[in-house]
């Protein structure tokens, strides 16, 4: 019998897991919009895994299989947004459980955690993302259930050592959940470093085209806690629409190309503007001057991502002025798309934000990098 070598993950994803419709020969998975599914004469479901659209849908399968392959996990779940995916993990906890999360992270989740934990009877502690000793102090043996990690941390791009965080969590009997939205599976595989669950705001790099709001979780193993998360999604109905699931799997087929191009351009931009007289700092883990560079170099393979931030001399007013003078960069929220975006984060997060007022967050797309450099240069000067 002919031996087939296991394909590289990049090949599997580019081919959509080598999907072929056996009825038609189509190489693109079909859409299945049905919300309900028939039973036979014995009142048994024709397809046991599908009964009602709030629980599941055949159109989720291609994208979820691709996600599991990308992260080398046992199972994956799609959600209606990245927030819905993150919330499902926390909602699977029980009153009295303890959660530890970084003080710098996606602001929407940080704010929600504060409110929800108070209302749900959960205990929450925040740790300094660049200080593993602080994480160790915050974790409570036998009480901490989730150590939440986001790395690189949005929007300062601090880097958290996943393997070290896993060791700290294991000693306390806690699970590690990694928000790997920015790093993507192209650059970092948290499950291979010992994490239990990976979360993605699939709206960003996984879809990559700014036309889908989606979230995803991938688990290292299908255990009792994962089953609780599955129940949260099914009972709460935080599912992705059929067409959105189809668009997501289409976007993931070009993930490797897009992330590599964005990473290469971000590195060139970071090097070009490092030390610029109009800048206080360039925040990018690919720079050797970045405090987390050594950790990033160890756990990010093949690049350092397409996100960086600039701190502008002159404070908030000067930062806003630079953003408004850009003509190639689009002034908009979000990240991970094919177009480059620039955003004044403090204006978005508001008065309680820990983010410096002089910080501009850049999401680097796939445009010609010289156009991006020239646009920033003219805006700064």
**Which residues, at least 6 apart from 36, have a Cβ–Cβ distance to it below 8 Å?**
51, 52, 53
Contact 42, 50 (CB under 8 A): no
Which of the residues 65, 97, 106, 205 is marked catalytic? 106
Which of the residues 204, 250, 258, 261 is marked catalytic? 204
Query: Whose structure tokens read 């046991």?
Result: 48
Gyration radius of the chain over CA positions: 21
Any catalytic annotation for residue 179? yes
**Which residues, at least 6 apart from 228, have a Cβ–Cβ distance to it below 8 Å?**
92
The residue length of the chain stands at 381
Sheet holding 330-331, edge to edge: 279-283, 307-312, 359-363, 341-344, 330-331
Burial class (CB in 10 A: 0-12, 13-18, 19+), 227: exposed
Token pair belonging to 236: 């709460």
Which of the residues 56, 158, 179, 196 is marked catalytic? 179
- For residue 19, what is the enclosing H or E element? none
Q: What is the separation, in whole angstroms, between the first and last Cα of the chain? A: 67
Dist. CA 92–CA 59, nearest whole Å = 25
CB environment 287-309: b (16+ within 10 A), e (fewer): beebebbebbeebbeebbbbbbb
Any catalytic annotation for residue 54? yes
Q: How far is CA 284 from the centre of its chain?
A: 17
Sheet holding 75-79, edge to edge: 75-79, 215-219, 197-200, 175-179, 144-150, 98-102, 123-127
- List residues with catalytic annotation: 54, 106, 179, 204
């Amino acid at each position: 019998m002919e031996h087939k070598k296991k394909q590289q993950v990049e090949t599997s994803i580019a081919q959509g897991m080598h999907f072929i419709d056996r009825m038609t020969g189509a190489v693109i998975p079909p859409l299945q919009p049905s919300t309900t599914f028939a039973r036979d004469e014995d009142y048994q479901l024709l397809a046991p895994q599908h009964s009602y659209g709030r629980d599941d849908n055949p159109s989720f399968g291609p994208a979820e299989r691709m996600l599991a392959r990308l992260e080398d996990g046992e199972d994956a779940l799609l959600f209606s947004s990245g927030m819905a995916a993150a919330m499902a993990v926390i909602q699977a906890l029980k009153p009295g459980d303890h959660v530890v999360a970084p003080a710098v992270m996606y602001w929407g989740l940080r704010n929600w955690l504060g409110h929800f934990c108070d209302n749900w009877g959960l205990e929450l502690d925040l740790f300094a993302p660049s200080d593993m000793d602080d994480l160790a102090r915050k974790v409570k043996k036998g009480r901490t259930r989730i150590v939440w990690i986001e790395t690189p941390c949005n929007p300062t791009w601090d880097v958290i050592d996943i393997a070290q965080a896993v060791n700290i969590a294991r000693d306390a009997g806690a699970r590690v959940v990694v928000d790997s939205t920015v790093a993507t599976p192209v650059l970092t595989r948290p499950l291979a470093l010992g994490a239990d669950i990976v979360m993605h705001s699939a709206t960003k790099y996984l879809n990559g085209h700014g036309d889908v709001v989606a979230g995803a979780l991938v688990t290292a193993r299908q255990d009792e806690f994962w089953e609780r998360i599955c129940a949260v999604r099914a009972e709460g109905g935080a599912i992705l629409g059929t067409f959105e699931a189809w668009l997501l799997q289409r976007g993931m087929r070009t993930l490797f190309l897009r992330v590599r191009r964005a990473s290469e351009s971000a590195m060139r931009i970071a090097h070009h503007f490092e030390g610029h007289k109009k800048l206080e700092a360039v925040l990018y883990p690919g720079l050797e001057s970045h405090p987390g560079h050594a950790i990033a170099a160890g756990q990010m393979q093949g690049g350092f991502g397409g996100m960086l931030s600039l701190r502008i001399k002159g404070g908030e007013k000067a930062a806003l002025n630079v953003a408004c003078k850009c003509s190639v960069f689009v002034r908009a929220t979000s990240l991970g798309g094919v177009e480059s975006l620039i955003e004044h984060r403090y204006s978005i997060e508001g008065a309680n934000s820990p983010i410096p007022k002089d910080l501009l967050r850049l999401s680097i797309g796939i445009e010609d990098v010289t156009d991006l450099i020239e646009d920033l240069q003219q805006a700064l000067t």
